[in-house]
Structure 1
Amino acid sequence: MKVAKFGGSSVANAEQLKKVANIIQADDERRIIVVSAPGKRSSEDMKVTDLLIELGEAFRLGEPHEEPLKNVLDRFDAILDELQLSKAVLDDIKKQVVKIFSDGNDLASKLDAIKAIGEDSLAKILSEYLQSLGLNASYVNPKEAGLILSDQPGSAQILDESFELIHTLRDRKDIVVIPGFFGYTKEGKLVTFSRGGSDITGSIVAAGVKADLYENFTDVDSVYCVNPKIVNHPREIISLTYKEMRELSYAGFSVFHAEALIPAFKEEIPVCIKNTNNPTAKGTMIVSKKQDVNQAVIGIASDAGFVSLYVSKYLMNREIGFGRRLLNILEDEGISFEHTPSGIDDLSVIIRADQLTKEKEAIVINRINKELKPDTVYIDRGLALIMIVGEGMHSFVGTAAKATKAFEQANVNLEMINQGSSEVSMMFGIKEEGVNRAVQSLYQVFFENK
C-alpha cells in the first residue's frame, strides 16, 4: 500500500488534477490520497489558502466579505468547469462559510475552519473526478479517517489514539481521498496543523496504515543538494536519511514542512519525493538508514534572518547558573533561541531576528546588565546560518578543514562554528551579504571537486 500526498502546485488547476488522476490510475497500490488546497497557477497568482485567510480577516475586522468569498468560489468554479463536474461544492462552501461565521466558537477556531475549506473542497472535487473516470473513489473527512488532534487552533498535534483508528483505512477497497492540514478534537471541533500541515497529514496517515511507501508529489524531480536559486543546475540527491532531511529542512530547505517526517520516521516508512509533472522520474528517497555512505556531505542549506546575543564575563565558567539565568531572561520575555555556542568567558545566543524586536532588545540588554553584571553585552544583527549535512561526516577526515577553506576562498568571515555530537551537521554563522558566495564555494568544494 502507498499513501500519496499531492501539494498545492500539484492541484492548482484542472490540468494539474488530470495529471494527479493519471498518477493514481498508473499504480493500483496508491490507495490513500492526501491533498493540499490549490496553490498558485503562476508566480502572480494567490494560493487558495491565502484567499481564505483574506476572507477570515475580512470577517475578523467586520468588513464586507462578499468579494473575498467570490475569489475563492471563482477558483473552484474554474476547476469544476474544466473537469465538467457538478457545482455542488460551491454551494457547500457558501453554506460552510455562513455556518462558521454564525457559530459560537472563538475567533481562532473560526479562522481555522475557514482555512480548512481549501483542502476539504479540493478533496471532494478530486474524489468526484476520479468517480467520473470510472474509479471506485471516496472522499473521507479527517474525522472519519480518525485524525484526532489536540485543541490548539493553528498548531494542533496528533493524539496517540488516532493511529489505531487510521489503521482501519487499510480495510477499505476503494481509493480514499483525504483533505490534509486539519483534523478534529475529541469534542469534535475542527483544528488545523501549522502552515504547510498537509505534509503532516500525509505522514500521519502513512504511519497509521503502516504504508509500504509514502509518496510526496510536488513540482520538482527531486531534492537538490543546494538551493538552485544560488547554484545553477545543482546535483540531485538520490537518497538521504530522515536525520539529514530534518537538518536540511531546519536550515532552509523548503521541500518539506519541518515536522512532517516525524510520524513516518517513527514507523520507519520510506518516503519518496516525486514530481507531478514528471512522475516517471525516480525522485528522492528518504530512508531510516542508508546502505552505503560514500560521501561526507549530502546537502548544503542556508537561512538568513538571525541575530547573535553576545555576553562576556571574566570567570563566567566558575559562576554556577550563569547560562541558566541568561536563558531565563529570554524565556521571561517570550524569546526562543536556536543555538548557544560558548567559550570559557563568552557565551553567544543565536536567535531568529523576528523573535528579538528592537523593543525587546532594549529590555533584554538592560536585564542582563542589571542581573548578570557582564563585562560586555551586545547584539549583532544581519546574521545567516549555513549548514552542511551528511551522516558520512564522521567517516571522512578533513570535512571541517574543507568547509573553512571554502569560506576563505569566498572571502567570507566566520562569525560562529557549531557542530553537534551526532556529527550529522556542521553549522556556520556569517554575515548575510556573504551567503551566496559562501554556498557557491562550499558546493564547488564538496560536489564539483571530485
Structure 2
Amino acid sequence: MKVVKFGGSSLANGEQFKKVIQIVTSDPSRQVIITSAPGKRFAEDTKVTDLLIAYAEHFLDYEDTSAIQAVIFSRYQEIAQTFELPADQLVWLKKELRKLQEKTYPNAAYLLAAFKAHGEYFNARLLTLILNHLGVPARFVDPREIGLLVTSDPNNASVLPDTYENFEKFKYGSEKLILPGFFGVTAEGEIATFSRGGSDITGAIVARGLHAELYENFTDVDAIYAANPRLVKNPYAITKMTYREMRELSYAGFSVFHDEAIVPAIEGRVKINVKNTNHPDRPGTMIIPYQEFTPLTRVTGITSSKHFAALYLHKFLLNKGAGLTLKILNILYKHGISYEHMPSGIDDLTIIFDKSQLTAEKKQAVSRDIRAALRPDELSWIDDYALIMIVGEGMHNRIGIMKDIILAISDHNINIHMINQGASEISIMLGTKSADADRAVKYIYEAFF
C-alpha cells in the first residue's frame, strides 16, 4: 500500500484534479490520498489557505465576510463543475463555510487554525465526491475518525504518540481513503494545524502509522534539485538522497519538502518518492535510509536561507566561566525563544535565531538580561544574517571539501562570518551577509557540479 500526498498546485483547479485522479486510479496500491488546499492557478492568484486566513481576519475585525466566503466557495465550485458534479452535492460546503464563524473557539489562535484547516478539509471531501461520481470507490476520513492527535499548539502543532496506537486500530477495505492534510485534533477536540506546508507532515504520519511501503509526494517539479533553479540554470536533478540529507536541506531552505515530515518517515522507515503531478512517469527523487545509499557525488545539495538573526557576545575568559552558557539558555527560556545554532570560541559566542520569533521588545529584553547576568565586554545584534548549507553523504571522510568551498566564495570577495560542521560530516554550515547568500550558493554549486 502507498500513501500519496498532493500539494496545492496539484489540486489548484479542475484540470489539475484530472491529473490527480489519473495518477490515483492508475495504480491500485495508491490507496491513501492526502490532500492540500487548492493552491495558485496562476502567478497572481491567491491560495485558498490565504483566502481562509483573510476570512478569519475579516470576522475577527467584525467586518462583513459574505464576499470572501463567496470567493472561497467559487474555487471549489469551479473544480466540481469540471466534473459535472450536481450542484446539490456542494450545499454542505457552503453551509460549513458559513458555520465556521458561528462556532465557539478557545481563543483567536484556535479560530485561525480551524479556518485555515478547512482548505484541506473541503478539498478532501470534494475529491471523495468526485471519485465516487466517477465510479471510483472512495471514502473520506476525518482526522478525528482515524485518531490523528496533536499537541495543543493551535498553529504549530506536533503529532502525539497516541496517534500511532489509534492508527493500528483503524479498519478499512479496498476503497481509496481520502484524508485532509495539515491538521489534527487536540485532546480537547480542537483543530490544530502543523506549520505552513504541513500536509507533507500529515502524509508522513499516515505513511508511518499505516505501515505504507512507499510515501509518494506529488508536487510541481520533476525532482529535487542540487540548488535552487532560480539561482542556478538547469541544476543537477537528485535521483536519490538520504533522510538526513533531506532534513538538513529542507531546514535551510529547500521548500520542496517540509523538514518536519522527514521524522515520521525515518521512524517508520518509509521511503519517500518526490514526483511531479504534471509528469508522473518521471522517476523524481527517492529519499531513503543512509544505510541503503551509495553517494555518486561529493555534495548532494546547496541551499541558503535569509530568515536568521544573530546575537554576538564577547567576554574575555568566556571559556573559563562555568555555567555561563546555562545562564544564557535560562534567559532564552524565560523569554520563550529557541536558538538554532551557537558556535563559540574561547572569548566569543554567537547565538543564531530564526527571526520569526524575535521582536524588538524581546531582543531588548534578552540583551538587558544577558548584560546583567554575564557582564560581557561586547554584545550586539546582527540582523543581516544568512545561513548556507552544503550537504552530502559523499562528504564523509573526504579531504579537501572545505578548501573547495572556501576558494569558491573567497575568489568572489564573499566574507564568511561563521563555519560549522556537524559530527556526522555530511553538512557544512556557513554564515554570511544576506546580500551575499545567493551568490555564494551559485559559486559553491559551480565548484562541485
Could you tell me how far 1:266 is from its partner in structure 2?
0.3
1:334 corresponds, among 336, 339, 346, to 336
- What are the superposed Cα offsets for residues 127-178 of structure 1, whole Å, 9 maximum, x if unpaired? 1222222211122222222312233322222222222332455741111111
3-state SS of 2:393 partner: coil
Distance between the aligned counterparts of 1:446 and 1:74, measured in 2? Answer: 48
RMSD value, Cα:
1.7
Q: Contact 2:80–2:130 (CA<8 Å) still a contact in 1?
A: no
- What are the superposed Cα offsets for residues 330-367 of structure 1, whole Å, 9 maximum, x if unpaired? 33333322111111111111123343433333333333
Give the corresponding residue for 1:247: 248
Give the corresponding residue for 1:197: 198
More displaced stretch, 12-21 vs 160-169: 160-169
Give the corresponding residue for 2:38: 38
Q: Contact 1:308–1:348 (CA<8 Å) still a contact in 2?
A: yes
Could you tell me how far 1:296 is from its partner in structure 2?
2.2
Query: Cα distance 1:258–1:192, how it changes in 2: closer, same or farther (>3 A)?
Result: same
Distance between the aligned counterparts of 1:353 and 1:299, measured in 2? Answer: 24
- What are the superposed Cα offsets for residues 173-199 of structure 1, whole Å, 9 maximum, x if unpaired? 111111111222344333322221111
**1:183-262 correspondence to structure 2 within 5 Å:** 183-262=184-263
- What are the superposed Cα offsets for residues 175-230 of structure 1, whole Å, 9 maximum, x if unpaired? 11111112223443333222211111111111111111000000000000111111
5+ residue gaps, structure 1: none
Q: Contact 1:2–1:211 (CA<8 Å) still a contact in 2?
A: yes
2:326 is the alignment partner of 1:321: no
2:85 is the alignment partner of 1:85: yes
Give the corresponding residue for 1:12: 12
3-state SS of 1:62 partner: coil
Give the corresponding residue for 1:440: 442
Give the corresponding residue for 2:296: 294
Give the corresponding residue for 2:126: 125
Give the corresponding residue for 2:278: 277
Could you tell me how far 1:282 is from its partner in structure 2?
0.3
Distance between the aligned counterparts of 1:141 and 1:394, measured in 2? Answer: 44
More displaced stretch, 187-196 vs 312-321: 187-196
- What are the superposed Cα offsets for residues 302-327 of structure 1, whole Å, 9 maximum, x if unpaired? 00132221111111111111122123
Give the corresponding residue for 1:95: 95
TM-score norm. by structure 1 comes to 0.95
More displaced stretch, 372-381 vs 258-267: 372-381
3-state SS of 1:314 partner: coil
3-state SS of 1:282 partner: coil
Distance between the aligned counterparts of 1:370 and 1:73, measured in 2? Answer: 55
Q: Contact 2:239–2:286 (CA<8 Å) still a contact in 1?
A: yes
3-state SS of 1:395 partner: coil
1:373 corresponds, among 372, 375, 387, to 375
Q: Contact 2:242–2:293 (CA<8 Å) still a contact in 1?
A: no
Give the corresponding residue for 1:411: 413
Distance between the aligned counterparts of 2:344 and 2:146, measured in 1? Answer: 48
Q: Contact 1:219–1:275 (CA<8 Å) still a contact in 2?
A: yes
Query: Cα distance 1:186–1:23, how it changes in 2: closer, same or farther (>3 A)?
Result: same
Q: Contact 2:39–2:47 (CA<8 Å) still a contact in 1?
A: yes
Could you tell me how far 1:98 is from its partner in structure 2?
3.9
Q: Contact 1:5–1:202 (CA<8 Å) still a contact in 2?
A: yes
More displaced stretch, 374-383 vs 352-361: 352-361
- What are the superposed Cα offsets for residues 244-272 of structure 1, whole Å, 9 maximum, x if unpaired? 00000110110112211211110111000
3-state SS of 2:16 partner: helix
Identity of aligned residues (%): 46
More displaced stretch, 277-286 vs 112-121: 112-121
Query: Cα distance 1:445–1:145, how it changes in 2: closer, same or farther (>3 A)?
Result: same
**1:298-317 correspondence to structure 2 within 5 Å:** 298-317=300-319
TM-score norm. by structure 2 comes to 0.95
Give the corresponding residue for 2:157: 156
- What are the superposed Cα offsets for residues 340-398 of structure 1, whole Å, 9 maximum, x if unpaired? 11111111111233434333333333333332122222222211110100122123111
Could you tell me how far 1:410 is from its partner in structure 2?
2.2
2:183 is the alignment partner of 1:182: yes
Q: Contact 2:20–2:277 (CA<8 Å) still a contact in 1?
A: yes
- What are the superposed Cα offsets for residues 63-94 of structure 1, whole Å, 9 maximum, x if unpaired? 11111111101111111111111234542233
Distance between the aligned counterparts of 1:439 and 1:52, measured in 2? Answer: 36
